[in-house]
Amino acid sequence: MNLTADARDRFPRLRFELSDSMLEDFLTDEGWPKAKKFRDSKRNGWSFEPLTDSRQAWDKRYGPQPWSAAKDWGEEQ
């Protein structure tokens, strides 16, 4: 599943509001913890700073969140 589709599934209000370009603008905003578009000959995607750094930046910008116990990207919750 791609990032835009995942966001739409998790937050129904985004179903008709969120586009790929809007998501890219959000992720590459200077205040975000350095999300970078990744592309090679086989796949496209995004790379992010470590999960703990990203969560700290999010909490600072949007307020504290009830995060899962996961310590790294892709770790089971």
Beta bridge partners of 12: none
Q: Which residues contact 8 (CB under 8 A, 6 or more apart)?
A: 14, 15, 18
Do 43 and 60 reside in the same domain of the chain?
A: yes
User: Could you give the number of structural domains in the chain?
Assistant: 2
Considering only residues 45 and 9, tell me which one the structure prediction assigns the higher pLDDT: 9
- Residue 77 is predicted with a pLDDT of 58
Q: How far apart are the first and last CA of the chain?
A: 18
Do 41 and 64 reside in the same domain of the chain?
A: yes
Do 44 and 20 reside in the same domain of the chain?
A: no
Do 11 and 39 reside in the same domain of the chain?
A: no
Considering only residues 21 and 27, tell me which one the structure prediction assigns the higher pLDDT: 21
> Model confidence over 23-64: pLDDT tens digits?
888 877 776 667 788 888 888 887 888 988 888 888 888 899
DSSP-derived 3-state class of residue 12: helix
Domain that holds residue 59: 35-77
- Residue 32 is predicted with a pLDDT of 67
- Residue 5 is predicted with a pLDDT of 87
Cβ-contact 72, 50 below 8 angstroms: yes
CA distance 32 to 49: 10
